[in-house]
Amino acid sequence: MTASAEPSGSLEVALGHASRLLTSAPSLAAEQANEILKAIPHQPMATLILGIACRLAADPAGAVAILEPLAHSQPKWAVAHCELGLALGAAGRGDEALVALRRAVQLKPDLSEAWLALADHLTATGDTTGADAAYARHIKASTRDPRMLAAATALCENRIPQAESMLRAHLKQRPTDVTALRMLAEVAARLQRFADAEVLLARCLELAPGFDAARHNYGTVLFRQNKITEAQFEVDRLLAKSAHNHGYRNLQAAILGHIGQVEQSIELFEGILAEYPRQPRVWLNLGHALKAAGRQQAGIDAYRQCIALAPHLGEAYWSLANMKTTRFEAADLEAMRAQLERTDLAIEDRFHFDFAMGKALEDAAAYAESFEHYARGNELRATGIQYSAEQVSARLRRSKSVLTREFFAERAGFGALDADPIFIVGLPRAGSTLLEQILASHSAVEGTMELPDVISLARTLAAQSTEAEESKYPAMLTQLSAAEARALGEQYLSKTRIQRRTSAPFFIDKMPNNFAHLGLIQLMLPNAKIIDARRHPLGCCFSAFKQHFARGQHFSYSLEDVGRYYRDYVELMAHYDAVLPGRVHRVIYEQLVDDTEAEIRRLLQYCGLPFEEQCLRFYEKERTVRTASSEQVRQPIFRGAVDHWRHYEPWLDPLKSALGPVLDVYPWVPEF
């Protein structure tokens, strides 16, 4: 008898009874299935029910033992492959579960449960694109409403405007349809409108608190907005119900890594790899966590394992290059060149390979070919982003116009009086991680990371305006009352508390882009310290140009843009020097290299901290470092990087032109 044969008579009744028992009493369902199998050995439906009952009774190994032979004997029975996939997943055999679930949806494309399970497994492996597509197919397969089916089809085909239009029309008639709310939130998330997605998912969960898939989405969009405490609360709720869910654990690992609990994050990734040993993205994520923890060789090994599984994954090669201390072998260069010759290589992989090749050839002193790869990588990366140098310059002009000496004098006494934060600002690759490592070596200071909280507050303030966001910031700061400024400072301190692990009275926020928000920082935290890390314009800008940033820093993908950004930064900092004299302490990188102890003593004096010898031995400090300089700051200072840009000087004329007089008078500042 085959799975498609029609049961009849008493067999049909018995199978129906056993099937109904699965939900309420799986052990009784197993007994009923076993009775059937005694009478009719290997009966497919009874075997399936027995396998499901074992899984529901928390015996996944037993379920696999039953369902594997069934799927083998019934190769075209989609439900058998789906149930095998669920059992394999429950047994911790994630890679095999993926194979079974993919087979199930191949056989039966409308098998909703298989698509949902497949999406969960893909989320655990870090394949967010594949997971999004599988979730969309799950929604399409599970709906029977023609209007919802059309919207789900549009979502599957990535026709986002049409999906959004249909879903909004549907929700006008049925505002409490939680499936539609979740789908519209998915649309918003794909458009990176995470605040909109958050509102929709909050409403969805208000209507259906047990909608776990929506709660998982909710935790994810909270995390993407840096609402870490809130995201952690949601993932804890999910894990309390399903402690071994792969997607929930992956989100938890990301959150833990973000708040500096890297060892716990590593444990989670290693646990996921025990179930998905052949998933390159998980190895890649593990490599990132190991690198941040200072476990250099283990990180390299993880990246190498990723490459072995996915030779086309350019990010793995770039991650090795980004260790800064790793040199590629001739075989690596040959492998990267072979990948770049492919015509089917994705753009994201291609530009990662170009950045990695640039670094490899730089190490080999092949500077002309190295620059070609850096330039090509930047050009490809720039195609996927939107950046306007003029908008940045316009914000500079608005800041100078609004944030005057009189503006700050009128608001003396505004803000929270806490002196906990030490802000390190400037441009990326200017030595900010080195300064952080030096300060974090002091007994009174804790290092954290590049915290996005100031930028998030600025965006929130701007978004409250009824006018265009860019045109109103920072003008709306004139409308803040003393109480509102204090509340903003307290909010910043509250949101960043999750990043603090010690009882040290001071902590570092080294988000470089915060230089654009010093007016806001002054209003809400007037006693915070502000350190400006500055490096030679050509050294700093070219170092940013050859660095592929995982997110943000969109100005860095053009020599002209990075030069103009540096010039705007210098002009804005000169403005703050004029209107808030002495407020900002500047560290010139080259001077720090030449006279390290004197500069460290000046730095500590500005921070009001006594000198401690361990600040000179900053490279001995064991801590999590989550920037491109993580390995460099674990070594003593060396002069090698100061003038390294000179190897590329023949190609830097566009950068020199963009910098203008800022380059001519460095380290002094021209008259603006």
Q: Is 431 left (phi over 0), alpha (psi -120 to 50) or beta?
A: left
Q: Is the pLDDT of residue 115 over 60?
A: yes
Instruction: State the pLDDT at residue 364.
Output: 94
Give the count of beta carbons closer than 10 Å to the beta carbon of residue 152: 26
Q: Is the pLDDT of residue 466 over 70?
A: no
Mean pLDDT, residues 382-394: 91
Instruction: State the pLDDT at residue 636.
Output: 63
Task: Round to whole Å and give the CA distance between 244 and 230.
Answer: 21
**Lowest mean pLDDT across 335-344, 350-359, 429-438:** 429-438
Q: Which pairing describes strands 584-588 and 421-426: parallel, antiparallel, or unpaired?
A: unpaired
Instruction: State the pLDDT at residue 638.
Output: 62
Mean pLDDT, residues 313-327: 92
Q: Is the Cβ–Cβ distance between 667 and 573 less than 8 Å?
A: no
Task: Round to whole Å and give the CA distance between 402 and 335.
Answer: 54
Q: Going from the N-terminus, what domains does the chain have, and what CATH number goes with each?
A: 391-665 (3.40.50.300)
Residue with tokens 């991650």: 319
Share of the chain above pLDDT 90, in %: 69
Mean pLDDT, residues 262-286: 91
Task: Round to whole Å and give the CA distance between 67 and 88.
Answer: 9
Q: Is the pLDDT of residue 630 over 60?
A: no
Task: Round to whole Å and give the CA distance between 6 and 45.
Answer: 10
Instruction: State the pLDDT at residue 640.
Output: 62
Task: Round to whole Å and give the CA distance between 228 and 178.
Answer: 25
Q: Is the pLDDT of residue 467 over 60?
A: no
Q: Is the Cβ–Cβ distance between 466 and 414 less than 8 Å?
A: no
Q: Is the pLDDT of residue 632 over 60?
A: no
Task: Round to whole Å and give the CA distance between 594 and 478.
Answer: 42
Q: Which whole-number Å values give the CA distances from 90 to 86, 166, 188, 378, 420, in the listed order?
A: 6, 37, 32, 43, 46
Q: Which whole-number Å values give the CA distances from 66 to 34, 63, 69, 458, in the listed order?
A: 12, 5, 6, 58
Phi, psi of 337 (to 5 degrees): -60, -40
Q: Is the pLDDT of residue 634 over 60?
A: no
The crossing angle, in degrees rounded to 10, of helices 160-173 and 146-156 is: 160
Per-residue pLDDT reduced to its tens digit, 52-91: 999 999 999 999 999 999 999 999 999 999 999 999 999 9
Per-residue pLDDT reduced to its tens digit, 511-532: 999 999 999 999 999 999 999 9
Q: Which pairing describes strands 506-509 and 445-449: parallel, antiparallel, or unpaired?
A: parallel
Instruction: State the pLDDT at residue 119.
Output: 87
Q: Is the pLDDT of residue 237 over 80?
A: yes
Q: Enumerate the β-bridge partners of residue 426.
A: 533
Instruction: State the pLDDT at residue 471.
Output: 61
Q: Is the pLDDT of residue 631 over 70?
A: no
Instruction: State the pLDDT at residue 372.
Output: 98
Per-residue pLDDT reduced to its tens digit, 617-627: 888 876 455 45
* Sheet architecture: strand order including 506-509: 445-449, 506-509, 421-426, 529-534, 584-588
Residue with tokens 């499936």: 179
Task: Tally the residues of the chain.
Answer: 672
When comparing pLDDT for 371 and 324, which is higher?
371
What is the average pLDDT score of the chain?
90
Phi, psi of 308 (to 5 degrees): -60, -35
Contacts of residues 200-207 at CB distance under 8 Å and 24 or more positions apart, as own/partner, are 204/178, 207/176, 207/178, 207/181
Share of the chain above pLDDT 70, in %: 94
| Helix H or strand E encompassing 588 | strand 584-588
Q: Is the pLDDT of residue 236 over 70?
A: yes
Cis peptide before 667 (omega within 30 of 0): yes
Phi, psi of 447 (to 5 degrees): -85, 145
Q: Is the pLDDT of residue 247 over 50?
A: yes
Residue with tokens 């009478």: 39
Query: Could you give the dihedral angle defined by the CA atoms of residues 127, 315, 349 and 547, in that order, rounded to the nearest 10 degrees?
Result: 130
Q: Is the Cβ–Cβ distance between 662 and 565 less than 8 Å?
A: no
Q: Is the pLDDT of residue 2 over 50?
A: no
Handedness of CA 505, 511, 224, 169 (dihedral sign): positive
Reported confidence tier of residue 650, pLDDT bands at 50, 70, 90? very high
Mean pLDDT, residues 354-358: 97
Task: Round to whole Å and give the CA distance between 386 and 161.
Answer: 20
Instruction: State the pLDDT at residue 78.
Output: 95
Task: Round to whole Å and give the CA distance between 209 and 204.
Answer: 8
Phi, psi of 509 (to 5 degrees): -115, 110
Instruction: State the pLDDT at residue 624.
Output: 53
Task: Round to whole Å and give the CA distance between 408 and 427.
Answer: 25
Q: Is the pLDDT of residue 12 over 80?
A: yes
Residue with tokens 């998330």: 189
Q: Is the pLDDT of residue 197 over 90?
A: yes
Q: Which whole-number Å values give the CA distances from 63 to 69, 86, 251, in the listed order?
A: 11, 9, 28
Instruction: State the pLDDT at residue 465.
Output: 53
* Model confidence, pTM: 0.82
DSSP-derived secondary structure for 247-314:
HHHHHHHHHHHHTT-HHHHHHHHHHHHHH-TT-HHHHHHHHHHHHHTT-HHHHHHHHHHHHHH-TT-H
Task: Round to whole Å and give the CA distance between 269 and 263.
Answer: 10
Reported confidence tier of residue 3, pLDDT bands at 50, 70, 90? very low
